[in-house]
A and B are shown apart, each in its own frame.
Chain A
Amino acid sequence: MTEKKQKDWAALAKMPKFVELHSKKKAFLLTLWCLGSIMFYLLPICAGYAPDFMKVKVFGRLNVCYFFCLIEFAMTWAIALYYTHKSNTYFDPLTREVLAEIARGEHA
Chain B
Amino acid sequence: MATEILMPALSPTMEEGTLAKWLVKEGDTVSSGDILAEIETDKATMEFEAVDEGIIGKILIPEGTEGVKVNTPIAVLVEEGEDVSALPEAAPAAEAGNEAAAPAAVEAPAPAPAAAPAAPVVDLSPDWPADAPMKQQTVREALRDAMAEEMRSDEDVYLMGEEVGEYQGAYKVSQGLLDEFGAKRVIDTPITEHGFTGIAVGSAFGGLKPIVEFMTFNFAMQAIDQIINSAAKTLYMSGGQMGCPIVFRGPNGAAARVAAQHSQDYAAWYMQIPGLKVVMPYSAADAKGLLKSAIRDPNPVVFLENEILYGRSFDVPQVDDLTVPLGKARIWREGTDVTIVSFGIGMQYALEAADKLAEDGISAEVIDLRTLRPMDTGTIINSVMKTNRLVTVEEGWPQGSVGSYISSVVMQQAFDYLDAPVINCTGKDVPMPYAANLEKLALVTTDEVIEAVKQVTYR
Q: Do the two chains belong together in a single complex?
A: no
Interface residues of B, Cβ cutoff 8 Å to A? none
